[in-house]
Each structure stands twice: as structure tokens, then as C-alpha cells.
Amino acid sequence: MFDHTYDNPVISGFHPDPSVCRVGDDYYLVCSSFEYVPGLPLFHSRDLVHWEQIGNVLDRPAQLPLPLPGSKASGGLYAPTIRHHDGRFWVVNTNVDGGGNFVVTAERPEGPWSDPVWIGLEGIDPDLAWEEDGTCWCAFSGPAGGVNLARIDPVGGAVLEGPFPTWSGSGLKYPEAPHLYRIGDWWYLLIAEGGTERGHAVSVARARSPRGPWEAAPGNPLLSHSGTGRAIQNTGHADLVRAPDGSWWMVLLGVRPRGFTPDVHVLGRETFLTPVEWDEDGWPVVAPVPERHPAPGGAWHPVPAPPARDDFDGTVLAPHWISPFTRPEGSWSLTERPGSLVLHATGPTLDTPGYTFVGRRQQHHDCRVTALVDPGTGRGGICVRLDEAHHYEVEAGDGEVRVVARIGPLSETVAQRSAPPGPLVLGVTVRTSDLVPASPLLTDGHATGPDTLAFWLGNPTAPGAHPLAELDGRYLSTEVAGGFTGRVIGMYATEGSVAFDWFEYVPAPAV
């Protein structure tokens, strides 16, 4: 008896706009990466529940101008779609800061992926779908609003017909994220609408031809958690996939807000999984996204979790390590000091683009990060980043350790103390209990934030560690800072060269 259950999200942390395809018994999924490079994280699964990152679709400078044109937070790469057709993998995507829409292909999902083929369509959230005769359609969200459709040559990039407007939802704002499918005798057009905040929704229509006319589902929106008290919110931007046993599933984005009103989310928009049924009239039916649910039938394929600690003993960085805007070859090295990641400062501050930073997504509400840092004559440490105007860091240099908070227009050193020269351990803990009160006036200890970030000199779980400061986590949330991303925690250098002997991320309650 197959009785496994899974917990949502199936890919935690900042992994929004999921798109999925199945090839045989294997599933492949891509997500948006916005300003971070390498771009478009790529995952593999055998059961839709356990996902392993096997690379990034855009992982070399020839594929993507670096730094990303525009160099702004929440810019860059929006909403990819992945499909398998005619023996090849296809990913279509938008670089909103330069170039527009493009297609890359690969014979194997692990790559190498081709250089981009640019498509002359203005808009975002492109999709690819093929008719039986090879006709390729690209649905996308147009620049004037609404969903458009064009017939294209995905190999050469030419627009062969259109674009022309197609069905654009039930009237909610921002119809986007279209996916077009041929299922049985019908073509279905699945879209997101309502905005990617609390009003986010999924709606669907169908037609006998991609050209229409389109019939909207009588129960639209197909899915929305708007106005509910569910722990999962902002549900939308969905893609459908059929399992080998004939069951249908939907991957979609959502958030897990926390804290006092207004609830805020800090991990970004994550990837969730929910079952799809079909009613007697041929319409998909989706129940509210569960926090826990029976898994798809078939074999159970757990995958090894990435090691909690990276000792930087290899010759390449693991695919989950990302950098904002760019990662010049001269800014980092795994060979200069074998067994360490050496970062060379390319900018003097984290407040404007152009600095050296290598990080990973925060994927758990409670976690602990530590690193062994040798600042030498430089300056650097651990940063918790949302964007250039919202970040906290603990850094070493010039014989001292200090904690710095940047919140909007304010930048403040909130703690500092002398530190011995040479390598030292720096730590950050994130906890969702025993929160820092929002104001001294709240004598009952009530806190509005979703979590508290504590900064340490030394390993927080080891004797002799020195707590330096505790900060309210709500200022590193999307609802405060704006944008489309989530927290990224990593290593940086803003002066000279800084060596990191190891970096450890542990999903565990803080001390």
C-alpha cells in the first residue's frame, strides 16, 4: 500500500514561477532567478516531491550579458517555461533588463544549454506549445496587459504570425503566466491573474484551436487562497503535468507569511505541489493547496540533501551558490588557497550593485549559518540580503567585528567589538520564537516581526561564543522591501581579499 505523504512546499525558499515537464519517469522543473546568476535553477525529480538541483540553465557568460543590464534588484530573468519536444529540451524566458524573450535548448537537461535565440516579442512570461504538425505557439503577457499569442519559429526566433490578443482571464488585474496545452480534443489556456500578492489566482479557458474562440471555465478562478486564513498564500503562476499513472498535478508558487498583521514573508515565493482532478464536463478542478497531502502514486525517490557544510574542496561551486548581477572570474577563486573560497572585493559597499557576494537561498524559517572567515587585511563576512537597501551583515576586518543594518535610507553599525587577528567563526541564527519586541512601548513583549536574526562572534552552539546583536526580521521581508525575491544568505568581501575555509547552513532552531 502506497501511503507516503509530502509536505508543502516541495522546493522551499526563493524558487518562484515554477514550470515543469515530464520525460518518461523523470520530471524537470525550472524557476525564475531575477537578478541572480547563474540563472534559472534546474531541478530533477522521479516523484514530483523530492527535487534535486542538477544545474542552472544559464551558467556561462556567453548566454547572458553580465552584469545583467540595468543591474537592479528584482530585474533580470522572469518566469521561464520548460518543455520537451522532438527529442530536445526547450526553455523560453524573458530578460526584462535587456534583450527581451529568448529560447535555449539542450539534448540533455544537465546541459550544455545553447546560447539564446532571441524572439521579437515584447512582453514577459513566455510559453511554448506545439501542434501535431510542428506549428509552435508562444503565449505571453503583452506589454499593454493581457495575454497574447504568436506563431513562431523557435529554432530561428522569427515571429511567423501575430502577436494577437487571446483570452485574458476573468477580469482580475495582471493576467500573466500563460501555459497552453493540448489535452484530448481541447486546447487549455492556464493563466495567473490578480497580481502576485494576496489576490493571486489561477484561471483557465479552453478552445478547439489555439486561435480560439475561448470558453472560460464556469468556476474561475480555478484556484485562489485570497481572503482565506490558510497558512499558504499568494497561490498562482501554475503549470500542469501528468504522471505516468494518469493522475494530474499542478506546480505553483505560494508564500508562507508570518508575524503580526500585516503578515510578511521572508523566504520569497516558493514551489508548491497540489493534485488536479477533472470534472464530468472536462474542466480541471483544484482544491486549496494542502500543507500535507498523499504523494503521487508510484515509486518513492528521496534524493540526498545538499551537504550542510561546504568545505570548498572542489574545483567548481555547487549550483545552489548564486551572486547578484554578476560574478566576474577574478572576483573569486577555489584554487588560490586550496580548501577555501577566496573572494576579492569588486566594490566597497553592499548598498550599490558591483560588490562581491556568493550566497544561497534561505530555505527554512529557523536556521543557523556559520562560516570560518580569514579577513587578512581585507573586510568581509556573512550577509543576509534582500536587496541593496535591505540587508544585515556581520563582518570582520581591521581587528574588529561589527554588525551593520541597512534598512531603506538608513545604514547603521549596531554592534562592534575587537576581534583577534586571523581566522574566526562568524554566525547568524534566524528564529521564529522569542522574538525581539517591535517597540519598547510593547511591554507585553508582543512582536510584529516574523523572526529575529541574531549575529555572533563564534559558533552560536559552542562555548565562548559572543552574541553581538539581535534584529527584527520584518525589514528583510518582501512586504517591507518590495520586489519579487526572497532572502539570500552568503559570503562577501568589500575590501581586499577574504578567505572562507567553510560555510555551514543548518535548518535548526536557533539557540
Query: What average pLDDT score do residues 215-226 get?
Result: 97
| Integer Cα distance of 261 and 479 in angstroms | 11
Grid cell, residue 443, equals 511591554
pLDDT of residue 1: 39
Of the candidates 30, 3, 27, the residue with the CA atom closest to the CA atom of residue 15:
30
Torsion of CA 69, 498, 268, 229, to 10 degrees: -160
How many domains does one find in the chain? 2
Confidence of residue 33 (pLDDT cuts 50, 70, 90): very high
Grid cell, residue 159, equals 515571429
Asked if residue 324 lies in contact with residue 38, where contact means CB atoms within 8 angstroms, the answer is no
**Residue 200: phi, psi to the nearest 5?**
-60, 145
- Distance from the first to the final alpha carbon of the chain: 41
| Integer Cα distance of 391 and 383 in angstroms | 7
* Residues comprising the chain, all counted: 511
**Domain assignment present for 382:** yes
pLDDT of residue 508: 83
**Domain assignment present for 249:** no
Asked if residue 31 lies in contact with residue 17, where contact means CB atoms within 8 angstroms, the answer is yes
Query: What average pLDDT score do residues 319-328 get?
Result: 96
Say whether both 339 and 487 belong to one domain. Answer: yes
Query: What average pLDDT score do residues 262-278 get?
Result: 97
Asked if residue 277 lies in contact with residue 293, where contact means CB atoms within 8 angstroms, the answer is no
Asked if residue 511 lies in contact with residue 466, where contact means CB atoms within 8 angstroms, the answer is no
**CA-atom Rg of the chain in angstroms:** 23
pLDDT score of 348 more than 80: yes
Q: How far is CA 24 from the centre of its chain?
A: 26
Query: What average pLDDT score do residues 220-234 get?
Result: 97
pLDDT score of 481 more than 80: yes
The Cα angle at residue 289 between residues 192 and 142, in degrees rounded to 5: 5
With pLDDT > 90 as the criterion, what percentage of the chain qualifies? Answer: 89
3-state DSSP call for residue 504? strand
Say whether both 25 and 174 belong to one domain. Answer: yes
Say whether both 188 and 319 belong to one domain. Answer: no
Say whether both 313 and 201 belong to one domain. Answer: no
Of the candidates 220, 488, 491, the residue with the CA atom closest to the CA atom of residue 367:
488
**Residue 309: phi, psi to the nearest 5?**
-120, 130
| Integer Cα distance of 54 and 41 in angstroms | 8
Name the domain boundary from 227, 247, 276. Answer: 227
pLDDT of residue 441: 57
**Domain assignment present for 237:** no
Grid cell, residue 191, equals 493563466
pLDDT of residue 251: 98
Range(s) of the domain holding residue 156: 21-227
pLDDT score of 445 more than 60: no
The one catalytic residue in 97, 125, 127, 176 is 176
Reported in sequence order, the residue ranges of 226-285 that DSSP labels E, i.e. its strands, are 233-242, 248-255, 270-278, 284-285
Other beta carbons within 10 angstroms of residue 257's beta carbon come to: 21
Name the domain boundary from 227, 254, 270. Answer: 227
Helix (H) or strand (E) holding 333: strand 332-333
3-state DSSP call for residue 476? helix
**Domain assignment present for 298:** no
Say whether both 178 and 51 belong to one domain. Answer: yes
Say whether both 490 and 398 belong to one domain. Answer: yes
Reported in sequence order, the residue ranges of 38-174 that DSSP labels E, i.e. its strands, are 39-45, 52-58, 77-85, 88-95, 100-106, 117-119, 124-130, 136-141, 147-152, 159-165
Name the domain boundary from 184, 211, 227. Answer: 227
Look up 374 and say whether it is catalytic. no
Q: How far is CA 165 from the centre of its chain?
A: 29
pLDDT of residue 421: 81
3-state DSSP call for residue 480? helix
Residue with cell 535548526: 508
**Domain assignment present for 443:** yes
Reported in sequence order, the residue ranges of 450-487 that DSSP labels E, i.e. its strands, are 452-457, 466-472
The 3-class SS string of 367-410 reads EEEEEEEECCCCEEEEEEEEECCEEEEEEEECCEEEEEEEECCE
Query: What average pLDDT score do residues 253-275 get?
Result: 95
Confidence of residue 261 (pLDDT cuts 50, 70, 90): confident
**Domain assignment present for 357:** yes
Query: What average pLDDT score do residues 260-274 get?
Result: 95
Say whether both 216 and 364 belong to one domain. Answer: no
Query: What average pLDDT score do residues 93-107 get?
Result: 94
pLDDT of residue 439: 64
Of the candidates 214, 204, 207, 213, the residue with the CA atom closest to the CA atom of residue 276:
204
Helix (H) or strand (E) holding 489: strand 488-495
CATH number at residue 194: 2.115.10.20
Query: What average pLDDT score do residues 156-173 get?
Result: 97
Say whether both 213 and 328 belong to one domain. Answer: no
pLDDT of residue 437: 81
* pLDDT tens track for 396-421: 999 999 999 999 999 999 999 999 88
pLDDT of residue 415: 98
CATH number at residue 450: 2.60.120.200
Say whether both 366 and 486 belong to one domain. Answer: yes
Lowest pLDDT segment from 3-7, 25-29, 42-46, 128-132: 3-7
pLDDT of residue 330: 93
Task: Encode burial over 359-396: b for 16+ CB neighbours within 10 A, e otherwise.
Answer: bbbbbbbebbbbbbbbbbebbbbbbbbbbbbbbbbbbb
Say whether both 313 and 462 belong to one domain. Answer: yes
Look up 17 and say whether it is catalytic. yes
pLDDT score of 495 more than 80: yes
Reported in sequence order, the residue ranges of 114-247 that DSSP labels E, i.e. its strands, are 117-119, 124-130, 136-141, 147-152, 159-165, 176-183, 186-193, 201-207, 215-216, 223-224, 233-242
Confidence of residue 442 (pLDDT cuts 50, 70, 90): low
Q: What is the mean pLDDT of the chain?
A: 95
Grid cell, residue 150, equals 504568436
Residue 471's Cβ-count burial label (10 Å; 0-12, 13-18, 19+) is: buried
* pLDDT tens track for 282-307: 999 999 999 999 999 888 999 988 89
Say whether both 70 and 203 belong to one domain. Answer: yes
Say whether both 222 and 325 belong to one domain. Answer: no
pLDDT score of 240 more than 70: yes
**Domain assignment present for 369:** yes
**Domain assignment present for 5:** no
